Structure formats: structure tokens, C-alpha cells
Structure 1
């Protein structure tokens, strides 16, 4: 299997993290706000498709800040 070059690590991390967190959070919030019924998956997908384009650049910005804060806190 061919791997992505290491220099793209921050971008690959942001894609995976934003996908997983966007999927999880949009699902949880859709269930809380609208309930789980026959149309749940459709609403969840619509919510996810709105959230992911926001989550991806947000993680690109926030992840380095979070790493610095963790470095300052952890011994």
C-alpha cells in the first residue's frame, strides 16, 4: 500500500479528525434536536455536509494551538 508523504501529516490529520468529529457531533445533535425517526439518517447527512466544511479548516487552525497548550501543561 502506498502511503502519503509525512509532510502532509497536518492536512491528513485535519481531514480524518474533522470527518470523525463532524460525523459524531452532527449525529448526536441531530438526534437531540430532532429525535430519531425514519428521516433521521437523511437529516444527519444534511447536518454533516454543512458542518464538515467548517470543521476541516477549524481543525487546521486549532490543532497547533491545542498541541502547544498540551506541551505547556504536560510534564
Structure 2
């Protein structure tokens, strides 16, 4: 099995989180605003594409910043 180099882990985590958060959040928001109607699936797909397109770059930009901030405000026991 092919393994990915560990140095790419932050990027892979950000992309994966952006993808799944986009899917889940768009599903919930579409369900709330459209309901389980005939147009739900198409509305969700549109919403999911936009959410993923925005979520992945945001996760890539914000992730390292959050890690740095949290490393600065936490201590080892």
C-alpha cells in the first residue's frame, strides 16, 4: 500500500476537514431551509459544492494559525 509522507499531514488534515465539514454543514443548512422536498438533493449538491470550494481554502489558511495560537496558550503538565 502506498503511504503519504508525514510532512503532508497538515495539508491532508485541512483538506479532509474542509471537505467533510462542507458536506455536513451544507446538508444540515439545506435540510433546515429547503426541507425534505423533491428539490432537496439538487439544492444540497449546489450548496455542498460551494461549501467545499470555500471550506478547503479556509481550512488551509486558518488551520496553521489556530495551531500556532493554541501552542502559545497551552502548557505541558
1:24 maps to 24
C-alpha deviation, 1:39, in angstroms: 2.1
Structure 1 stretches of 4+ moved >3 Å: 72-75
Unpaired segments ≥5 residues, structure 1: none
Structure whose CA Rg is larger: 2
Q: SS in structure 2 opposite 1:27?
A: helix
TM-score by length of 2: 0.83
CA-based RMSD? 1.4
Unpaired segments ≥5 residues, structure 2: none
For residues 64 and 45 of structure 1, what CA distance do their matches in structure 2 show?
A: 29
